Amino acid sequence: MSQALWTQLKYFFPEKVCFGEPLKQYTSFGIGGPADCLITVETVAELRKVLAVMNDYQQTFFLLGKGTNVLISDRGIRGVVIRLAGEFTQAEVKGNELIAGAACPISLLLRLSIQHTLSGLEFAIGLPGSLGGAVYMNAGSKDVGIGSLVKEIHLVCPDGSYEIRSGENLHFSYRHSSLKPGEIITRIILKLREEGRKEELLSKMKEGYAHRVSHQPLREKSAGCIFKNPPGGSAGELIDLAGLKGFSIGDAQVSTIHANFFINQHQASCDQILRLMNLAQKKVHQFCGLALEPEVLIWGQSDDD
């Protein structure tokens, strides 16, 4: 990024901008070098102002949610990373609708849905991350994606314009929505169901959480499932059958609990995780001819980043 843009950002947003901030503290993997510039924005107005300055310099950016589905290069990001905080972390309930900012943690939404006896979100128990990130990639379980609950989203487009889009127009499919890079979700309205009793909902969620904790390494540093499931199969099962469960490269390990989770055991580098991913893709391909596609977003690998 240019010196002139640095100066402008520092001038207009002195409290919001950090230069050379290590990103590993913002990711669930605990991996990631410094960003040339990390901007924390707290309101839609602030976000649009930041985009206006960046557009003047034709500067692109990365959008960081809770950092639970990204693998960031050890060299970091040669550019701008935008982080949503403040009003983007708030949520409220109106009738059977949950209205939340894009940076709102899924765990807060689950608490609200229990408090108000709203069902529909049970499948999301144990999902890390923020609602915006989850909607962007239609995160969820094997069978249900969060997109099925989306009534509408509010977003800021790369040119700074504000738009409201209905759930239907987001064309959700497995781990995919039609949102484009650079479109920033700011607010989401989820439509839930008023049904059942609070105790039933709570016990269903507790059961789901217990299942997840026993099948997934939720307490380790990871990015959740690292590969998408290939049609009709399970990436975890295939990596397991290819003999890689527990295999390590340096501090990067294929989890012994679920083979589609790659763990940063201590000080794993991005490079070690990438080597492990390449190995898993190669072994699974040799074993059954299927190509595994990363679910995790990989940032900062090209010289332009």
- Residue ranges that bind ligand EPU, judged by CB under 6 A: 139, 141-142, 215, 224-225, 228-229, 234-237, 240, 245, 258-260, 295
Q: Kindly tell me which of 258 and 283 has the beta carbon lying closer to ligand EPU.
A: 258
Sheet with 252-254: strands ordered across? 248-249, 252-254, 262-264
Any bridge partners for residue 118, and if so which? 194
- The residue (of 22 and 30) whose beta carbon lies closer to ligand EPU is 30
Is 18 tagged catalytic?
A: no
Distances in whole angstroms, Cα of residue 49 to Cα of each of 12, 39, 46, 188: 9, 12, 5, 21
**Catalytic residue (choose from 165, 175, 212, 275):** 175
Q: How far is the CB of 258 from ligand EPU (least distance, A)?
A: 5
DSSP secondary structure of 84-102: E-GGGG-EEEETTEEEEET
Cβ–Cβ under 8 Å, residues 128 and 66: yes
Q: What is the smallest separation between the CB atom of 304 and ligand EPU, expressed in angstroms?
A: 27
- Provide the residue type at 196 as one letter: G
CB 127: neighbour CB atoms within 10 A?
22
Q: Considering the complex, what minimum distance in angstroms separates the CB of residue 260 from ligand EPU?
A: 5
Contact in structure between 226 and 32 (CB atoms under 8 Å)? no
Q: How far is the CB of 192 from ligand EPU (least distance, A)?
A: 19
DSSP 227-287: BPPPTTS-HHHHHHHTT-TT-EETTEEE-SS-TTBEEE-SS--HHHHHHHHHHHHHHHHHH
AA letter at 136 = Y
> CA angle at residue 71 from 20 to 142, to 5 degrees?
145
Report d(CA 197, CA 118) in Å as an integer: 9
Is 175 labeled as catalytic in the residue annotation?
yes
In angstroms, what is the minimal distance from the CB of 222 to ligand EPU?
9
Contact 236, 225 (CB under 8 A): yes
176 vs 228, which CB is nearer to ligand EPU? 228
Contact 187, 84 (CB under 8 A): no
Q: Which is nearer to ligand EPU, 31 or 139 (CB)?
A: 139
157 in catalytic set? no
Nearer Cβ to ligand EPU (139/150): 139
HEC secondary structure over 155-203: EECCCCCEEEEEHHHHCCECCECCCCCCCEEEEEEEECEECCCHHHHHH
Closer residue to ligand EPU, CB minimum distance, 59 or 141? 141
- In the complex, the smallest distance separating the C-beta of residue 209 from ligand EPU, rounded to whole angstroms, is 11
Active site residues per annotation: 175, 225, 295
